Structure 1
Amino acid sequence: MTVKEFEEFYAQTVARLTGQLYVMLGDLQEAQDVVQEAFAKGWSRRRQLDRDGRPEAWIRTVAWRLAVSRWRFRRRTAEAWERRGAPPHTEGPGPEQVVLVEAMRELPAQQRRTMTLYYLCDLTVEQIATETGVSASTVKTHLVRGRTSLAHRLQDPRIEEASGA
């Protein structure tokens, strides 16, 4: 099957195969996903599809098997969660965390990345320089500017009022 023939085959059959898998699966999104994945697999085997003489059946079978494989994976995952039990309840972020995240979003992307790598990932300046591809002095600059910007954004007016500022 040539590239052009495969493209024509795809155009003629994708809607029909998606409809068939939709009826089989009862989930349109899942049907679309597995049919597309089956066509992707068929693309690399298009010469074999031509020899078999039943390319539509091949795509439909592969799509079905993909769907079954996904079901099995989901079922095993659900069973594993059931065996483990429900995860412990964790509180949502408090007002302080929300304010911090909002302030971090206002930083330039490189400062935000550097601050995250330093404070959340506990990387050294040298490790950050290696990971980001910038010099250690640039990392230090990003840290200083990020801290300064955050200090300005996170000033609590209640503290300033109490100190008489």
Structure 2
Amino acid sequence: MSKGVYDTDTYAIGTSDRNRQELMRRRDEAAFRTFVEERQTMLRRRAYLLCGNWADGDELVQEALARVYVAWPRIATGAETAYTRRTMMNLYLNDQRKRRREVLTDEAPEPPTTDHDRELALTLTDLLHDLPEKQRAVLVLRFWEDLTVPQIAECTGVAEGTIKSHISRGLAALRGRLAEPPLTGAGALP
């Protein structure tokens, strides 16, 4: 078709731009509908093979076709199937990446705690709060965060010898408090 010449089957001479755009839109929608009707079974089979079940496969086809519909006017004639296939594959891979991020973890699940474990953890937490601030901070970094003495020194800006001293004194204080018999009854004297 040369510049300025209209296909008389599609456009009436003197048709406004708005009418031409409407005719193009209708032709695009009709072509898209035909494309979907002709390839729906093939697309569903491909999606089933990717997803492993019909429900997820149908969702994949629906999402892919929604995106293809938006891009339809820009898709080259003859490239519709390849474009749809690529769209489906991209959507599928993106979904798998999301699922992998959600499901996989490097950490083993925490073992179930017993009442004794819970009580001990609460006792240790209470005892930690009774320690001087520097000792508490160093013990948390060392035993809860698993940092080494040099890492703690770097993190806090305190010399390694001082860190070791805080760890030693803090542990001694905790051991001493844990070794004390618990108070029972009024006054708790034997």
TM-score of Structure 1 vs Structure 2, range by shorter chain: 0.3 to 0.5
Q: Which has the larger radius of gyration?
A: 2
TM-score by length of 2: 0.34
